[in-house]
Structure 1
C-alpha cells in the first residue's frame, strides 16, 4: 500500500461469510484490512488507503518495521529554519539525507514515486501540520499533482501554497539525471499546469511549484519552476 498504492482483492472473499480463522493469513489481509476500516474500495478489483491520516499510520508502521529512526534531532533544525526562510529545497535535502539515508542500498531498486510521495508527506506533516494541510495526487483539471501543501487560514502560512512533482530514478539512471542543470521540459509543463489550476481555484494564494528528482541513493535535485 505504501509502495504500490493499492491492494487487489476478490469480491467473493469480501462479500462472503467473514472467516475469523483466516483473519491473520496473508492472502486474506485485503479483506481483514477492509473490515477493520483501514482501506476503502477503489474499484471492483482494488482497494486503497482511505485518507491522509491512515497513510501516516501505515508509513509510521512501515518505518518501525524497517527500524527507520524518527529521532527529532535529525529533522527539527531544518524545520526551525523553514519558519524563518520558507525555503523548500532544504526540506528535500533533509528528507534525502536523514530519512532515505537510513535505508540499505538494495531497497532503492524496489521503491517508487508512490513511496517517495508517501514518505515525504509523512515526514513533512510531522513538523508542519500546524500550519499546512497536505494532499497527495490531488485531482485537478489537467491531471493529478504529486504533492501539495496549503497554508492554513489564521496562521502565518496562509496563502502559501507549494505544488511538487516528484520523479524517482533507479541507480542505473542516476548519473544521467543528476548531471542535468534544469528539469526536463515535460516535467516543468506538468507541474506548471497543476500550479495554474490551483491558482484558478485559490486566486489569493501565492502558488510556487517545484520539480524534484530523487535518484536512488545517489543524489537529488530540486528546482523551483
Structure 2
C-alpha cells in the first residue's frame, strides 16, 4: 500500500484500478474507449482545457459537409492551441488520436460511432469514424492513420510543414487496412487519410482518395 502512489509503481497501480490492461506478455495498454475518455477528461480538467464552448460551428459544418481535413484543422486551432507547450515533450500520436476522438464523440455521437485500434488481418487501425445505421452517414467510413513527428525530428526534413512528404510505407499501411475493411463491408463509402502531427507546430493531412 505504501508503494501504491509512487511513480515507479504506477503501472501496477493503474492495472489494479482498471486503467490499464495486458497488451501482451511484456507490456500494458489502455483497455477501451471508456477509459480513454476518462483519461482525456482528466487531462482537460488538469490543464483547464475548454471542451464545452466554441466548437459548435466546426461540428455543425462537419455534419453539413463531412470534410475531415477541415474538422481536424478546427480541432488543432481550437483544442491543441490551448495546451501548454511543455506537454509536447511527453506525447506521441496516441495523444492526438485520443483527444481528437474524445472531442468528436462529444458532438457527433448522434451520427457516428468510433473504432480505436480495430484489428484487421493486416493490422490495427488508428481511428475509424463509423456512420450510424439509419442516420445520414450510415454508409460512410472514415479511416485515419496518425503519425507523430517530434519538433526535433521535423527539423531534419528541412521543409515547411505544408511540404512534408507522404511516406510510401504509410500509404501501404492504410491501404492494407482499407482493403480488409472493404472486404468485410463492401457496401460502405470509404475515405482514407494520413495525418502527420508535428509536435505543437502544426500538421499535414493527406487525403488518399485524391492523391
Q: Could you tell me the TM-score, scaled by structure 2's length? A: 0.87
Contact 1:182 1:223 in 2 (8 A): no
Residue 23 (structure 2) aligns with: 42
Residue 177 and residue 166 in structure 1: after superposition, are their counterparts in 2 closer, same or farther (change >3 A)?
farther
Q: Which runs of 5+ in 1 are unaligned?
A: 1-19
Residue 171 and residue 27 in structure 1: after superposition, are their counterparts in 2 closer, same or farther (change >3 A)?
closer
Residue 156 (structure 1) aligns with: 136
Q: CA deviation at 1:112?
A: 0.7
- Count of aligned pairs between the two proteins: 205
Q: Could you tell me the TM-score, scaled by structure 1's length? A: 0.82
Question: Which of the residues 59, 80, 84 maps onto 1:100?
Answer: 80
Q: Which runs of 5+ in 2 are unaligned?
A: none
Question: Which of the residues 117, 129, 133 maps onto 2:97?
Answer: 117
Task: Find the aligned partners of 2:160 and 2:151 in 1 and give their Cα distance.
Answer: 10
Alignment of 1:31 with 2:12, yes or no, is yes
Q: Secondary structure at the match of 1:72?
A: coil
Task: Find the aligned partners of 1:158 and 1:24 in 2 and give their Cα distance.
Answer: 46
Q: Secondary structure at the match of 1:207?
A: strand
Alignment of 1:60 with 2:41, yes or no, is yes
Question: Which of the residues 147, 166, 177 maps onto 1:194?
Answer: 177
Task: Find the aligned partners of 1:204 and 1:72 in 2 and give their Cα distance.
Answer: 36
